[in-house]
Structure 1
Amino acid sequence: MASDDGVTAGLSDDELAEMYHLMLVTTLADERSAREAKAGRLQAAFYPVRGMEAVCAAMGAVLDADDKMVSTYRNLGDALAKGATLRSIMAELYGRAPGMSGGKGGPMHLQDQAVGFTATTGIVGQGLPLAVGLAMATQLDGESRAIVTTFGDGATSIGTYHESMNFAALWKLPIVFICQNNQWGEHTAIADYAPDVELAKRAAAYAMPTQRVDGFDPIASTRAIREAVERARAGGGPTFLEFMHYRLTGHTGTADFSYVPKDELAAAMERDPAPNFRRWLAERGIFDDDALTEIERRAQADVDDAFTYAEASPFPDPATIDSDVFADPEFVRSLNHD
């Protein structure tokens, strides 16, 4: 960990325990989902979040139920951070009816309006204009909430990224742009598609506060997100945060990632967020080994429960095939009868 001795970003012991729990659940569920994807038991592709757990835990510690989030398809940790249940997430990945989107959307379409997990987009960069629209609505309605949108480093080269940043800065919208820079745009290293790999520097051109943050450090991440969220809620306008970490697995749960330089991956694995946070908590005497072991036991039990629940849940009723779609039901039925 990179935090100074004694500094916990104002987090209570209960909040630190919950952060460690969320990181563990994300890691364990991520690794098990990848195995299930390789075994062909999921109904949709799975996009791992390994390496991003610290930022997800920080969002969970800072964001309120009233804040809204628009995420990307690499969203397991984002959804948990915003308050979605692991049961509903896994049921969706298995294509089961109790899933977040009724088992019909998969990771590309996770959403839970009850907790402010407003939308997920499967198209790179397309979540930003949705979040900007939510931020404009928040401003017009005079509400005090933050809109958060998460995206990968590759999205910063998409046209809608630049349009969204410009619009948010011009209107001083209450939005936090969270770039989860994992160093890879699918199978392309960032240096091979970006002439300047310091994305916060690029964002600064839009005259908004920007910051590059150690994305392996949950305490530093919490400080940065809290400051940006409080600025947004207070009417101080947008912030761009670039969290530096590394994708610890392939682009998808089944993808080969032998193209990743072995020395880079080994160095990144040395900073694996959950094990390093455990060590940090223990070294500072915040929790003893028994307390940490209990958090780990609870995390494993929660993951086991969610997968058991998902596998045992029913598939969607075929009669609902033409619901939840942007089309006239009669027209859809006519197609099915041809």
Structure 2
Amino acid sequence: MNTLVKTTNSYLTQALTILPGLITAFIVAVISKGIAIWLPTLGAATIAILLGIVLGNTCLKHPILDKGTKIAEGKLLEFSVVLLGATVTFQTIAHIGIKGGIFVVLQMGLTILATYILGKKLLFSDNMSLLMAGGNAVCGSSAIASIAPSIHAKEEEKGQIITLVNLLGTILMLLLPLIASILYGTDLLAKSALIGGILQSVGQVVASASMINGEVVEFAMLFKIMRIMLLVVVVYLFGKFKERKAPIATAAETTAVAKKKAGLPWYVVGFVLFCIINSLIQLPAQLSQTAHFFSGWFEITALAAIGLRLDFQKFFKEGKRFLIYGLSVGVIQVLLAIGLIRLFIA
């Protein structure tokens, strides 16, 4: 009986330490959703992390929130990645054609290579360079959440890069419709490729494409889906790359690392399984919509938590270098996309 009471008390104590931060992150997410109604061009995800940063560095800077925001930041993003798989099918990808697929693969590959090299030139760590490369090339926060464990990235590294990727995505989200309209006029596929091939998050793709028309939204999402489908490949390759670079001194350490990296993170596997099931039997629309709904809420709440946990002062200690990195990656992505669209699409 005493053991049961002690166990119950232990769980209650843990819950009480987690709930303040978890509830706070959710409240910030709800507020962000409300603000997004009036500022749809920014989107709830971007607003959530920005609002989280402001509040987390002012009135909500308190240790009592740490455990809950850590749970929200880690676990909710993982569940968001899994549920995202239920909204994607292999059949959908076929609509953009072989040339569209080649464009996506080259755009992603060259973005990763250029971003990593630039990061090293600017003296960023391997982890931060890889997270920046994956976040921009694939699907923003979800990609960073998936890549981070496979390369053993620290929470601070993950938080800083997620912030930078989201800020860059916001700038590009507003600029790309203008660039697409100037360069491609009535070429629907080219405009869609520019937006869907560059922007980091699904929300940013939808918001940016909506500034042109509904058809661009539909086709831009096809390019974006192709990038999301390649997430598992990027996670695997980044993990292998980091493993080869890591010095392993002894046979015992080699065995330990092998055991630790025996497979992909569970949520990446879950994403692929959901995607395969949805492709083979096509899950009911209501189920996919429900998965998308919860995936979106998990991601926004996690982003709010990341913002609440990010120490703004530490971020600004290297602010100039971060700004140069982010803007340079954005320019590289746009120039690469324009060149590749001319070769394969326009």
Normalised TM-score (structure 2): 0.31
Normalised TM-score (structure 1): 0.31
Q: Which has the higher helix share?
A: 2
Q: Which has the higher strand share?
A: 1
